[in-house]
Amino acid sequence: MLKYAIKRFLLIIPIILGVTVIVFTIINIIPGDPAQRILGVGASEEQIRELNHRLGYDRPFIERLFNYVRDIVTRFDFGSSYQNGDSVVYKIRLNFPYTLKLTVLQVIAYAVIGVTLGVLSAVKQYSALDNVVRVVSVSLAAFPGFWVYMIAILLFSLKLGWLPSSGVESWKGYVLPVACSAILASAGLQRLTRTTMLESIRQDFVRTARAKGCAEGTVIWRHAFLNAMLPVLNQVGISFGMMLGGTVIAETVFAMPGLGSVIVNAIQSKDVPVVMGCSIFLAVIFCVIVVLLDLASAAVDPRVKAKFVKQ
């Protein structure tokens, strides 16, 4: 088990290296250069060349990529922002708490909505409730997130005035982005929970529990539900990692502080160190979450642990 855990954590290194190369390539092939974005259209060619030289952007692509990776490996230096000179690590430390808080709230709401509806849909299979939940979940999966965010702002902020349309000055600022994201994302979790619950309900141990006279609530929640939760918990964990990066849309639409809005602003200004640092940071978190989920699955399910030991 320990050997497998070490192998999985070491596998993160080439993955992060690949992410670094891909993101660095994409941000560098975007038209324009940092100096032109910073100085504006009124800057002379000489000023642009001088600033690009000072930023090191006039060097060959391979050299800049090699130097960037070398600085991270040898000095853990992710560079400084082209815009204001702030350290990338400082920007991450300043903005990540907002992204983490938003993501945690989204995942909690997403799990509660998806699991609850999935269990009810499985228990009431082919009923009116089951049909409605399935139709709604499929419909929600087809809605683009930014469109739902805009409709929610128009309805609850501008028309009704119940909730703020931007900022996080109070808890109300989190209501719309959390509710919209959780409702949209819960569609997939609801279908997964329904499927696993239906498989669990049909198992022999559930029929045995009913034959022994256990209450229906006990059969569903203490026997069938617990047995069906392993794939659901894995999906929730993976969704947590994906939502960390996916908050970029919510943070942009609702003008919230966080890594998502930082990345969007950095891309617009072609602030390469900020884009790279934030992207690598989120990629590392996602990889670590996936490895921890694998290890947690092995600790909970002996069948999974047996496969890990063989590896």
Spatial neighbors of 117 by CB under 8 A, at least 6 apart, are 133, 137, 186, 190, 193
Q: What is the enclosing helix (H) or strand (E) of 212? A: none
Exposure b/e, 157-196, CB count within 10 A at least 16 = b? beeeeebbbeebeeeebbbbbbbbbbbbbbbbbbbbbbbb
115 — pLDDT class (breaks 50, 70, 90): confident
Cα 75 vs. chain centroid, distance in angstroms?
28
Sign of CA dihedral 77, 79, 23, 185: positive
Say yes or no to pLDDT of 40 above 60.
Answer: yes
Say yes or no to pLDDT of 311 above 60.
Answer: no
Query: For 162-208, what is each residue's pLDDT tens digit?
Result: 888 777 777 888 888 888 888 888 888 888 888 888 888 887 777 78
Q: What is the reported pTM?
A: 0.79
Domain spans in the chain, listed from the N-terminal domain onward: 97-257
CATH match of 97-257 with 3.40.50.880? no
> Which DSSP state fits 80?
B
